[in-house]
Amino acid sequence: MALALLFATASAFAPLSGVTLPKVSTGETVNLGDALSTTGTTLLVLGTYPADFNMIEYAQKLRHYLPALQDKGVERVLCTVNGKQSSCELLAELVGIPETVELLSDEEGVAGRAFGVGRGWLADEDEIDLFGRITVPMSPYAKLLGMLVGLGAGNTLPSVIAGYVGNPSGVHGWIESALAQGQSKGRWPDMALDVGAAGDVERNSFDELPLVGGWGRRPLELATLRLQTMLGISLAKWDELQPVDDRCLTQLGGLVAVRDGSVVYEWKDNGICAVAHFEDLLKAL
């Protein structure tokens, strides 16, 4: 029995055991397999490229949920970012990622592919055959466009639509936190909240919506945050945050939480804007 458990644990981390990445803060290299094999509880987020919606939402959730994760016994949080060091640093500044989150620069997206994240539509194809007659070159941006309508990323449209329609049983704490942080940085839309000088939310206009103000996640609430993200980060800072490796343009993300060498929670994104639900992660911890 003990041998079987040891084998299962070793198998779980085998793909990441040889992956070493530099810390953004110090340049020190981290072996991901070793980091996940230690005693205690470690969370590893496999991020995407810095300007990507999924990466930014993971960063926003880490910022909001870090205290709750620590209360659940998480001692170390690692987050790979598929971009160069300067892009990772700018992302951390824009979103307010806590210094206790160890950002790792992964320009080629090696860690995510080793973990088995989704790689998007036609990830290994440079061209597509139409009707057996025409061969059309496929750029990474064309592949990304296909993913936006669900090709190779089946949960993209449901996740995007969910941001508009809301969910009575959803949660909005991390959304409010991210909107407030964005407003404090001067990002628009900036009319959803009244934010005090200390950064505290004094009024949330979504609370005042008739009939749906008491929902867990109100209609348009998440969509408003994503609009703020798109305009104020993804588009405004594209030159600084774009990936250096075109393969990362369509690569999705994920996360894994490990306690004493055993996986307690694992997630792989199945679409754009379809990142892990941290409430489920907290329950698993």
Tens-of-pLDDT digits for all 285 residues of the chain?
444 444 445 455 678 999 999 999 999 999 999 999 999 999 999 999 999 999 999 999 999 999 999 999 999 999 999 999 999 999 999 999 999 999 999 999 999 999 999 999 999 988 888 787 888 889 999 999 999 999 999 999 999 999 999 999 999 999 999 999 999 999 999 999 999 988 899 999 999 999 999 999 999 999 999 999 999 999 999 999 999 999 999 999 999 999 999 999 999 999 999 999 999 999 999
Alpha carbons 113 and 15: distance in angstroms, whole number: 9
Closest CA to 77 of 282, 264, 255, 251: 255
Angle among Cα 69, 99, 61 to the nearest 5 degrees reads 45
Closest CA to 167 of 222, 210, 112: 222
Whole-number pLDDT of residue 270: 97
What sign does the CA torsion over 230, 233, 234, 238 have?
positive
Alpha-carbon distances, residue 3 vs 6, 7, 8, 10 (angstroms): 5, 6, 9, 10
Whole-number pLDDT of residue 119: 97
Whole-number pLDDT of residue 11: 53
Phi-psi region of 73 (alpha: psi -120 to 50; beta: other; left: phi over 0): left
Element spanning 43, H or E: strand 41-46
Residue 81 DSSP SS3: strand
Whole-number pLDDT of residue 127: 85
Angle among Cα 186, 101, 5 to the nearest 5 degrees reads 145
Alpha carbons 81 and 55: distance in angstroms, whole number: 8
Which pTM does this prediction carry?
A: 0.94
Whole-number pLDDT of residue 3: 40
The architecture in CATH of the region 2-284 reads: 3-Layer(aba) Sandwich (3.40)
Residue 103 DSSP SS3: strand
Whole-number pLDDT of residue 7: 40
